[in-house]
Structure formats: C-alpha cells, structure tokens
Structure 1
Amino acid sequence: MRELSVPERLGLFGLGVAVAAVAWPYLTETTGLGLPCPLRSLTGVPCPGCGLTTAAVALVRGDLAGAVAASPVIVGLAVLSLAVLPLLVLRMSGVLPPPVRWSDRARRRTGWGAGLLACASWLFQLHRLGVS
C-alpha cells in the first residue's frame, strides 16, 4: 500500500469523524454512556479539542451555526475532508501520481501551523466555556 500524504490523512480522519458523529448520538442515547474530556473532568480546564464532538454532531445534522459555536476547527476539517475525496479517488485510480514526500522545512512549518491552530482552539474553548 502506498503512503498517504498529510492532507489525505487529515481528510480520512475527518471522514472518520463524520461517521462517528452520525453514530455518536445513537450510542449515547441507547447506552446512556458518554465520553467526557479527561482534562476537563480532572482540572476543569478544557483541552484544545473540547467541543469537537459537539461540533461534528451539529455539522452532520446540518447545524453550521451550532458547529461553529462549539468549535470552528470542525469547518476546516470538513472542507479538507470533502476536498480530499476526489484527490484520493484520482490517486487510487492511477490518474494522479502518488504524493511527493514533503521537505523537512515543509513538515516543520506544518507542525508549527498545527501547534498554532491547537493554541487558537484552546483559547477559543477557554473563552467559550468561561475559564479564566
């Protein structure tokens, strides 16, 4: 199997999140079990990913405003996931060549970008949940 590019991996992760967001309400309603954020449960401080489950469920239900209110990051993940689908199909069918390995510099920049996005998400969650 060929190696996936970073956008392909993120896009597939987003598709997995969408599938989980469809199943999650059914599972929690039928079992009564939930999955609280461990950091928030132990410390009262939300993690950078807090709100993503709520946002994903809202988005698959068509509630864009609710999704953005819970975690704006979900919109970027959803857009990336939709954009990656044709790319994956074209690469799997042989129309497009396999991805080229990113340079160390590009990987570092992407890592810094992901870190800054996580910090921005955390600040958003701290503000949204009124933690000061």
Structure 2
Amino acid sequence: MREFSVPERLGGLGALVAVGAAVWPTVTARTGAGLPCPLRTLTGVPCPACGLTTAAVALVRGQVETAFQANPLIFGLAAFTAVAGPLVALRAAGVLKPPRSWSSARRRQVGWLAGLTALASWIFQLHRLG
C-alpha cells in the first residue's frame, strides 16, 4: 500500500467534508441536531474552525459569498480537494512519481504556515463573532 502525500490527504478530507456538507442539511432538518463548536460552547470564544460546517454547506450549494463569510479556510480545503483526485489518479497510473518524504526543514516551514493560517482564521472568527 502506498503512502499518500499531505495534499492528497487534505483532498481526501475535503471530499469527505463535501459529502458531509451535502447530507448534513437533511440530517439537521429531520433530527433538529446541530453541531456546535465545543470551544465556543464551553468558553464563549470561537475557534479557528468555527463556521466551517456552515461554509462547507454553503459552498456545496454554490453560495460562495456565504461560504466566505462563514470561514474562508473552506476555499483552501476545496482547492486541495480539486487537486487531489487527479493527483491520486496520475500517481496510480504511473504518470507521476509517488510522493517523497518532506525534509525536517520543509516540515517546519509547513508547520509555521499552518499555524499562521490558523491564527489568521482565529482572528477572522474573533472579529466576525465578536
């Protein structure tokens, strides 16, 4: 079994999120169940991922502005999702080489980028939700 790269894994997550976003409105309409943010429920402080469910549902429905207003991170996940399918297919067909492991310097860079992205999202959510 081959290893999947980080973009492929994020794309797979995005595909699962898209399926969930397509099904979630039906589940909530029939059951009345919601999906509150645990951090916001316990502390009143939103987390960097607050609004991602709303954003995913809006994006699946084609409501781009609503998705952006809920959480712009959804567009990054959507980009990984759009790239991952063809990437996995091309690697499976042997057109592209399998992914290589990242160096420790590259991992550190991506860690910083992920942290800064989460911080930017958190600032956005704090501003949006007061």
Tell me the equivalent position of 1:37.
37
Tell me the equivalent position of 1:91.
91
Shift of 1:80: 1.7
TM-score, structure 2 length as denominator?
0.97
User: Any stretches of 5+ residues in structure 2 without a counterpart?
Assistant: none
Tell me the equivalent position of 1:104.
104
Alignment of 1:75-90 (within 5 A): 75-90=75-90
- Cα deviations across residues 55-75 of structure 1 (Å, max 9, x unaligned)? 000000000000000001101
Runs of 4+ in 1 over 4 A off after TM superposition: none
SS at match of 1:127: helix
Paired residues in the alignment total 130
- Cα deviations across residues 84-119 of structure 1 (Å, max 9, x unaligned)? 211111111222121011111101110110011001
- Cα deviations across residues 23-81 of structure 1 (Å, max 9, x unaligned)? 11111111111111111011110011000000000000000000000001101110121
Cα distance in 1 for residues equivalent to 2:102 and 2:114: 16
Alignment of 1:20-35 (within 5 A): 20-35=20-35
Cα distance in 2 for residues equivalent to 1:115 and 1:63: 28
Instruction: Please give the root-mean-square deviation of Cα atoms over the aligned residues, in Å.
Output: 0.8
User: Any stretches of 5+ residues in structure 1 without a counterpart?
Assistant: none
Shift of 1:10: 0.8
SS at match of 2:122: helix
Shift of 1:121: 0.4
Alignment of 1:1-132 (within 5 A): 1-130=1-130
Percentage of pairs with the same residue: 64
